[in-house]
Amino acid sequence: MLLEAEFWVAVAFVIFMAIAWKAGAFSAMTKGLDGRAKRVRNELDEAKRLREEAAAVLADYKRRRAEAEKEAEAIITGAREEAQRAAEEGHRKLDDFLARRTKAAETKIAQAEAQAEAQVRAAAAEAAVKVSETILRERLQGEAAQGLIRASLGEVRTRLRA
């Protein structure tokens, strides 16, 4: 057993471990491993905090986007309503304008008809007076006849013009 290589490797390992333990290598290794574990734990905590922060920022952006979409929809709806009101008001004003123009045209037509009727009556009265005057002159002679003709012609004119 003393001549076997495995035995001397085991003895050398035990001696090495005893020297390392006396020199404080184990405490340095544990401190190093503990420090590394602490750094890893801190990095994991930081990563978790950053992930939560990123999730909060993402949720905030989603909320803002939803609000912006709602606001845009409200603006579009308002613009459509305003355009509809403007179109309705334009149609109403156009209808009012057309009604006023139609009434003005009808009034002018009625005035023109009345004027034409008055002119026709006046022309008819003049023609009737001239015809009557001609007939009366042919049939009546003398100064008395002339007075009678003038009086009756004035009366005919007055009645025809009325």
Q: pLDDT tens, 113-143?
A: 989 888 888 787 777 777 777 776 666 666 6
pLDDT of residue 158: 72
User: Domain range holding 62?
Assistant: 36-160
Domain-located, residue 131: yes
Domain-located, residue 51: yes
Residue type at 112? A
pLDDT of residue 159: 65
Give the total number of structural domains in the chain: 1
Q: pLDDT tens, 63-90?
A: 999 999 999 999 999 999 999 999 999 9
Domain-located, residue 137: yes
pTM of the full predicted structure?
0.43
